[in-house]
Structure formats: structure tokens, C-alpha cells
Structure 1
């Protein structure tokens, strides 16, 4: 059976599945991600035409299955998507983490023998980071931390007596490890 797409109607349902595929919760988040005005997206909902340009972009960025995206039938992700690692995407702006959908990274980007994140997230502050949030203890290296309510990527160096040197954002200070909240370990940096 071949895939049948009606290009004259059904766009509203397709756009709702696009929002789901990205992991967004609102139409506004999708409009922001696509770089279009919310009124333009609202018009697409109203006209109900099949949004082929958005569908192609969504497939490329998330690895979602075309059949599911276009019709609602079939698996959301097919066997090809097994080669992709899906991570929740976040923007880091002025010390705040904002949800920014989902990203699929090809597993071949990770060095051979290196384990993939169990509970990972993708964080972008101009440089992109893959962060593993499932960890048992901290050790020296780059971490996503929260200091005084502000999130940032910092280098931690353990010192004697449960102290840690926190370096980054043009400042260095020493404190007790309990004075900061460690969110996750940076396992990969991607220069944008």
C-alpha cells in the first residue's frame, strides 16, 4: 500500500503532529522555531493545506516517520531512526534554560566506544553541548551547573575537603560542592 497524502486538507492535524514531533507544547514555540510570525502559522492552520515545507524540515530535524507525520498512522519513528539519538533541546539565555524542542543526532557523531547519554539533553548558548544528566558523582571536567539560581556551563575542579573550583563565564571561585547545583556532565561540545 502506498502513502496517500491529501495536499488540499488535513494540514491542521499535520501541524499538531509536527508540534508533537518537536516536543513543543504550543503553536508559538513552533512558529519561533521555524522563524515565522505566529500570524503566518495561524493562517496555515486556518487554510488547512498540507504544510509540505514544514513536514520536510521536521523530518530532517527530528527523524520522525513521514507516514505518521502526514497521516497519523504507523510508528512515529521507524527503524531508520534507531541510528539517531533524540535529545530534548534547550537554549541557555542569560542564565535561564528554555525548552526548544527535540533534536536528533546521528549516533556516529559520538566517538567509538564512548557511551551514549541515558538521560541526555542538548544545550545551546552559542556553542552546543550534549549533557548527560544521569550521573552518580561529579569529577573534574565541564558541567552544566546552577550557581545562585543561574545556569551555565562551567569547568569544575575538585579540591580537598569537598571543595570545588568553579571556572567559566570570565570568573573563577572556590566553594563547597553543596553550594552549587550540578545538572549534568558535558560529554560533547559542538561548535556552531
Structure 2
């Protein structure tokens, strides 16, 4: 997936505008780099992705506008941040960003795309698997790929870059019409946090509490689960059985009994022998 590179001079102008500066020296101070770097970018005709990401996270500027001059959100309103607060936030975000390279950032990128292997990611972005493996081994932060992923999938830039998403970012997602829900991975009977994902509310069954929804995946299976629902009925449920979590098809039987069907087979038990964790409201199946 190859695209033409944005004009370096225009990108630098937008970076400067976002920071409210007018010279290359002032821009270098904001980006916390040597002043000569900006001149080198102009001569090379390319601005590193890390600089663009820092500016977007630091100033709140629209990522799509910084990269190509077009707002992703037509109703975007620029938010100005005081220089003192901006500097503190920028340093903190830059530190988090550069400390989460390699395995962690590649995992978030693949999750955002829905890929399970580095080969799939490499083929899609036309990057050799050897290059991706080098990023993995050297804990490298691939800024240009992070930007591409954010623009391509709509995933939160802050989450892709740092592994975190603040409350304000989640609220903004909801306001823009693409609300996010927590994303979990079910592994060895336990649920672990796995960032956030976006979901169109039209896919959610009527009556479900959107604020209680979690996207849960395990291997090639995935579900949207309304957590906290515990009035057991026929359907698919997230259950705790003997301390291990898994998703099961449940049907009630006379005598306070349940028929449980899982990936490893089926069995019967009493209702008090399981702990209900949530109701599956949407099942996502792999077409392959």
C-alpha cells in the first residue's frame, strides 16, 4: 500500500502553525531537537513521523491536517494549549511514545488493522518482514507506520503511540460519532486489557448498555460482551467456571440445571456452580 509523500515544506508550516511559532529554530525547540534537523528535513523533502506524532499529541492538532492539509473532521476546532502546559505534556508524551517501541507498538498496530501476523502487516504496507522483525528486536518506534495506521483505521493516535487513551480522548470519540469501548484479550482463562476499539452503535442490539460493552477476542473468535449482566438465560455468556473465564452457549434445564457448550465440549451443571460475568450481545466470526 504505497502513497505519495506529503510536501515537507507544507508539513513544517503546519507544525509551526500548530505550535504558534514562525521560525525553524522555535519549531526545533518545541520538538526538542537540534535546530539543524529541521533544515535537514527541508533538504531531504521528508518530515519524520515521530515529529508529526509529537505535534499532534502535544498541541491537539488534527493528524490528517498535519500530514496532508485536510481535516479528517470537518467540524474540527483547534484547541490552543498554553506553552507551559504544552511543554510538560509534550515531554511526558514523548517519553511514553519512545519507550513503547518494538513489540508493544507493533502489537497495537496489528490489533488496529485486525492482523495476527507480521507477514500480513508487511504485505499490506509493502514493508519487508525483515524490516518489521528489526523494529521488533531493536525496540524501534516506527513513527511513519503509526501515522499511517491512525489515518487508515481511525484508531486513537495517543493509544497507538503510547498505549494509553485518556478520558477526554474517549469522550471526543463518542462526540465525533465513533464511540470507543474497552478491548480485552481472553487468554488462559483470564481477561487482559488490550486498548480500545471503535464500534458503530447500530451494530449493538437494542436494550444493551453501551457503557458496559467490552470487545473480547480469543484466537480467531471475538465477541461484544455486556459486562455485569448476571440474570442467566438461554444464550451465549462469559462465565467463570472453577476460576477460569471462557465464553459458552448456555441453555437452562429443569431442576436448576444448565447445559453448557464450549470449545472443548459440553456438560451439565447446577446454576450455582458457575459465576456469570457478562452477556454476549454480538458474535464476530472469522470468515476463513
CA contact (8 A) 1:89 1:121 kept: yes
CA distance in structure 1 between the aligned counterparts of 2:238 and 2:230, rounded to whole angstroms: 15
Q: CA RMSD in A?
A: 3.6
Pair 1:186–1:156, CA change in 2 (3 A): same
Runs of 5+ unmatched residues, structure 1: 21-25, 46-50, 70-74
Q: How does 1:73-92 map to 2 (within 5 A)?
A: 76=169, 78=172, 82-92=176-186
**Could you tell me the TM-score, scaled by structure 1's length?**
0.68
Structure 2 equivalent of residue 174 of structure 1: 268
Q: Aligned pair in 2 of structure 1 residues 64, 12: CA closer, same or farther (>3 Å)? A: closer
What is the SS of the residue equivalent to 2:199?
strand
What is the SS of the residue equivalent to 1:151? strand
Q: Check the 8 A contact 1:121/1:130 in 2, yes or no.
A: yes
Indicate the residue corresponding to 1:118 in structure 2.
Answer: 211
Using the TM superposition, give the Cα deviation of residue 184 of structure 1 relative to its aligned residue in structure 2, in angstroms: 0.7
For normalisation by structure 2, the TM-score amounts to 0.48
Higher relative contact order (CA 8 A, sep 6+): 1
Return the structure number with greater helix share: 2
Q: Would you say how many aligned residue pairs link Structure 1 and Structure 2?
A: 171
Of Structure 1 and Structure 2, the greater strand share is in 1
Provide the rounded CA distance (Å) in 2 between the counterparts of 1:58 and 1:44: 14
Q: Radius of gyration: which is bigger?
A: 2
Return closer, same or farther for 1:92/1:79 CA change in 2, 3 Å cut-off: closer
Question: Would you say 1:58 and 2:155 are equivalent positions?
Answer: no
> d(CA) in 2 for partners of 1:59 and 1:107?
21
Verify: 1:33 aligned to 2:108, yes or no: yes
